Amino acid sequence: MHVQHPSGPTPAVRVPIAGLLLAAILIGALAACGGAPSSDRAALLARAAALSPADARLADLYQHACKACHVVATSGAPLTGDRDAWQARLKKGLPALVGNAIGGLNGMPAGGQCVRCTAADYAALIRFMAGEAP
């Protein structure tokens, strides 16, 4: 491309054109960000925040422990109700997941900040977060 072409626009004209091009690129990038993938993510986050176990005792345990991270986008935790994320985890088998919930895994603290949870509670909470139980 011949930027210095003699019949091209004068520098005074070229600058606004460059500005317009940059603006168009930025708008394009913003539009891309607002596209399907991030709105899917927003929908997942909204759903995660709204979900709660139907069982009152489980709901209480969940609200006071797991929910602190498993509905937070930046926590690195698989989101409550994000079946795809949980399917990948469930391949390890539920007992392995219960073991990691109790023993901890990277950013997942041992016990998941739940001092009252039994092994059965962890299994039920995991199935709930994975979207496998109401």
Residue 38, helix vs strand vs coil: helix
Judged by CB under 6 A, the chain residues 94 through 133 that form the site for ligand HEC are: 97, 100-101, 105-109, 112-114, 117, 122, 125-126
Position among 44, 77, 79, 82 found at the interface with ligand HEC (CB under 6 A): 77
* Alpha-carbon separation of residue 86 from 20, 115, 128 (angstroms): 44, 23, 10
**Site map 27..66 versus ligand HEC, x via CB under 6 A:** --------------------------------------xx
Written as six digits, the tokens of 63 are 């609200």
Query: Residues 43-58, buried b or exposed e (16+ Cβ, 10 A)?
Result: ebbeebeebbbeeeeb
Report in angstroms how near the CB of residue 43 gets to ligand HEC at its nearest.
21
Position among 52, 85, 89, 131 found at the interface with ligand HEC (CB under 6 A): 89
The counts of H helices and E strands in the chain are 7, 0
Q: Residues interacting with ligand HEC, by CB under 6 A?
A: 65-66, 68-70, 75-78, 89, 92, 97, 100-101, 105-109, 112-114, 117, 122, 125-126
